[in-house]
Amino acid sequence: MQRQNSTDLRENKWFMVWGSIVMVLIVVFLKSNGETPEDLDVPDLSNLGYDPCCSWPCENNGWCMSLPGNNYTCDCAETGFIGKNCHIPANWKSWLATKIKPDAETLHNFLTSNGWLWAIVNNIKPLHNKIMAYVYLSRGDVVDTPVRFNGGSEYITLESYYNETYYARSLPPVPKHCPTVMGDKGPTDYPDMDVIIQKVFLRREFKPDPHNTNVLFTYWAQHFTHQFFRTDQSKSTPEFTKGNAGVDGSNIYGLTEEDRQHLRSGIDGKLKSQIINGEEFPPYLRDVPGYKMEYPPHIKIREEAKFALGHPFFALLPGLFAFATIWLREHNRVCDILKVENSHWDDSRLYETARIINVGQTIKITIEDYVQQLSQYKLNLSFEPELTHGTRFQYDNRIRAEFVQLYHWHPLIPDTIKIDDNTSYSIMDMAYNNKPILEHGIDKFVEAMVTNRAGALTNRNHPYPTVVVLRKTLEHSRTMRFQSINNYRRKFGMTPFTSFIDMTEDEQLAKDLEELYHDIEAVEFYVGLLAEKPGPSVTPLSMVSIGGPYSVKGLLANPICSPLWWKPSTFGGEVGFQIVKTSTISKLFCNNMAGKCEGLDLTFRIPDV
């Protein structure tokens, strides 16, 4: 009881302190409230002559409803704000947030600097847990779940939710009846795409990434995201997906049950493989009858250079072939471990459990190695799903069309890759060509991925050979009538850009963009993402602040992270669970290379020399 009484005393003291703070805040609130009476600052939109929702008047994620006679109302429910334009804090919390909550840029700078502070925080487990839980939940909160919009309509529909063949959308399309393609700002129609590509995107000379990001990172991005970016090319618009909206391992195992059966050996849970030069590789395509890969018919490729990989697109590049090979070896390695623990399990149970383990490893590595490098946070990102258990976090994800757009990261690709110190391959050398691996060996190729520097993910650094993809990306965003980059910044809690120079910090680029778009509110989404000035992360700030939530949400909303899945039996027992919990990009590769990475510091950064 003694101890409790002293606690009471302490609480009394704190009560005094907090009481005083609250009193002060009340005064400030009443005062500031008195200064800005409701709707005094609301611009009059009654004489626009068109739907006022085209000027996006509702703030703080309020929803603009057009009314008859070019009138409008904002639905402010659940925003924490009230007033004509949801611009007045409805309660203490919202008001305080407007006063003390740092903007995304400040927060981001804080997380990417002050290394000494974070070194301390990283070592105080309860505090670190609190911060990680905040990261998970705050990121999850800005990704609407259940989804509300898809490209099919300008307003909320049940179809957006139930028709999962659509990519979801964070923001609905700009209404067709608006005066300009971005609402009511900027030019009536989109600016000339060739000029945009020329002035904003094309690489003059290779800009290297300043954060020591390597090509292994680039290929992780590509290999990893193709499991859930699966635009249905058979449709007339880019708004449909064939995928499962999550980290389902389909980039390793195949998307459909039929595909997966093709790639399974049927023995001890393992995937089909073959031995070449004493090492395990995926089977030749000719040895998996009925299985399809996207080898282009017009390019002559030897049958001994065509392989059956988890994703038909992975025919494209030797880096993808390398990842496919490493994951294949890892799957079969995990099966061997599971078999020792569970000698009575049949082929299917070993296979299914190894698949769950590899999905777990994928998430672990993505958060702790890949996103850590991407964000350049000094906070150690950790994969601890239990921090979301019992909270409002929703274990349910859908891929957004905006995420697909955003993840076009071709500037990361360097002009050439040097292998084994004496051979260079250009981008075009490597298309549909596994020679760099088959000739030098996978160990040498992996070493090359680790030691070659990626390009800077910024403007005027898009490599020429992939301009065709860039053009398609821009076309897609127009087909889907994406809202402006500033509207996306608002949606994701960022301050909108105030000018072209504020966006780019580059006079020439600002001038070029102003000529194209006239108004900073009219800059297209993908153009804005890349035109933005470099920041402390591998991507510019908008990209990491919009992509981050999609990414964290997608990773943590995976079923394996939920309370009823995240336990040893899901992973075949404690041994399998530990594989997931201790996985790193280094282990994944080094366990599966003949040389075991000897002398190679394998991470997503080029090693210090």
- Sorted by sequence, the CB contacts under 8 Å of residue 490 that are 6+ apart come out as 59, 61, 496
| Interaction between residue 562 and its own copies (CB under 8 A) | yes
Question: 435 or 581, CB closer to its own copies?
Answer: 581
| Interaction between residue 123 and its own copies (CB under 8 A) | no
Closest contact distance (angstroms) between CB of 355 and its own copies is 6
Question: 468 or 564, CB closer to its own copies?
Answer: 564
CA distance 485 to 501: 15
Question: 77 or 117, CB closer to its own copies?
Answer: 77
Rule CB under 8 A: choose which of 17, 100, 158, 275 binds its own copies: 158
CA distance 361 to 355: 10
Rule CB under 8 A: choose which of 80, 89, 135, 144 binds its own copies: 144
Structure-token match 């020439």, residue found: 508
Site track for its own copies across 7-26, x = CB under 8 A: -x--xx--x---x-------
Segment near its own copies (CB under 8 A); pick from 92-100, 468-476, 534-542, 559-567: 559-567
76-95: which residues touch its own copies (CB under 8 A)?
Answer: 77-78
* Partners of 264 in beta bridges: 271
Tokens of 349: 């149970």
Asked whether the beta carbons of 160 and 166 are under 8 A apart, the reply is yes
**Is the preceding peptide bond at 238 cis, omega within 30 degrees of 0?**
no
Segment near its own copies (CB under 8 A); pick from 25-33, 160-168, 329-337, 476-484: 160-168
Closest contact distance (angstroms) between CB of 403 and its own copies is 18
CA distance 300 to 442: 23
| Interaction between residue 179 and its own copies (CB under 8 A) | no
Rule CB under 8 A: choose which of 396, 429, 514, 519 binds its own copies: 396
C-alpha torsion sign, points 363, 367, 371, 372: negative
What Å distances lie between residue 450 and 170, 235, 592, 605, CA to CA? 35, 38, 15, 7
Segment near its own copies (CB under 8 A); pick from 32-40, 62-70, 511-519, 594-602: 62-70
How far is Cα of residue 62 from the mean position of the Cα atoms in its chain? Answer: 25
Segment near its own copies (CB under 8 A); pick from 403-411, 433-441, 530-538, 558-566: 558-566
Rule CB under 8 A: choose which of 55, 60, 66, 225 binds its own copies: 66
How far is Cα of residue 522 from the mean position of the Cα atoms in its chain? Answer: 24
CA distance 39 to 41: 5
Closest contact distance (angstroms) between CB of 342 and its own copies is 7
Question: 198 or 569, CB closer to its own copies?
Answer: 569
| Interaction between residue 563 and its own copies (CB under 8 A) | yes
Give the Cβ contact number of residue 49 at 10 Å: 7
CA distance 152 to 150: 5
446-465: which residues touch its own copies (CB under 8 A)?
Answer: none
* Partners of 74 in beta bridges: 64
CA distance 315 to 308: 8
228-247: which residues touch its own copies (CB under 8 A)?
Answer: 244, 246
CA distance 111 to 307: 43
Segment near its own copies (CB under 8 A); pick from 139-147, 193-201, 231-239, 477-485: 139-147
Instruction: Report which residue type is found at 270.
Output: K
410 among annotated binding-site residues: yes
| Interaction between residue 49 and its own copies (CB under 8 A) | no
Rule CB under 8 A: choose which of 539, 570, 592, 603 binds its own copies: 570
Rule CB under 8 A: choose which of 67, 124, 428, 469 binds its own copies: 67
* Partners of 183 in beta bridges: 180
What Å distances lie between residue 126 and 383, 467, 556, 582, CA to CA? 15, 48, 20, 20
Question: 36 or 348, CB closer to its own copies?
Answer: 348
Question: 389 or 533, CB closer to its own copies?
Answer: 389
Residues that are catalytic: 226, 407
Question: 114 or 153, CB closer to its own copies?
Answer: 153
CA distance 516 to 560: 46
Tokens of 148: 């509300």
Site track for its own copies across 338-357, x = CB under 8 A: ----xxx---xx--xx-xx-
CA distance 357 to 334: 8
- What one-character DSSP code corresponds to residue 82? E
353-382: which residues touch its own copies (CB under 8 A)?
Answer: 353, 355-356, 359
Question: 320 or 359, CB closer to its own copies?
Answer: 359
Asked whether the beta carbons of 253 and 355 are under 8 A apart, the reply is yes
Question: Quick one: CA torsion of 375, 379, 367, 337, rounded to 10 degrees?
Answer: 140
Question: 573 or 607, CB closer to its own copies?
Answer: 573
Structure-token match 């777990």, residue found: 360
Segment near its own copies (CB under 8 A); pick from 182-190, 279-287, 421-429, 563-571: 563-571
Rule CB under 8 A: choose which of 153, 212, 466, 584 binds its own copies: 153
Structure-token match 């971005």, residue found: 182
Rule CB under 8 A: choose which of 50, 110, 161, 284 binds its own copies: 161
Tokens of 46: 């009654």
Question: 331 or 453, CB closer to its own copies?
Answer: 331
Rule CB under 8 A: choose which of 395, 425, 482, 488 binds its own copies: 395
- What one-character DSSP code corresponds to residue 212? -
Segment near its own copies (CB under 8 A); pick from 161-169, 216-224, 282-290, 403-411: 161-169
Alpha helices in 294-419 (DSSP H): 318-341, 347-365, 372-375, 401-406
- Sorted by sequence, the CB contacts under 8 Å of residue 144 that are 6+ apart come out as 168, 170
| Interaction between residue 75 and its own copies (CB under 8 A) | yes
Size of the site for its own copies (CB under 8 A): 65
| Interaction between residue 258 and its own copies (CB under 8 A) | no
Rule CB under 8 A: choose which of 32, 46, 391, 508 binds its own copies: 391
Tokens of 396: 């349910």
Known binding-site residues for heme b equal 410
Known binding-site residues equal 410
Interface positions with its own copies (CB under 8 A): 1, 4, 8, 11-12, 15, 19, 63, 65-68, 73, 75, 77-78, 144-148, 153, 155-159, 161-164, 244, 246, 248-249, 257, 342-344, 348-349, 352-353, 355-356, 359, 389-392, 394-396, 559-560, 562-570, 573
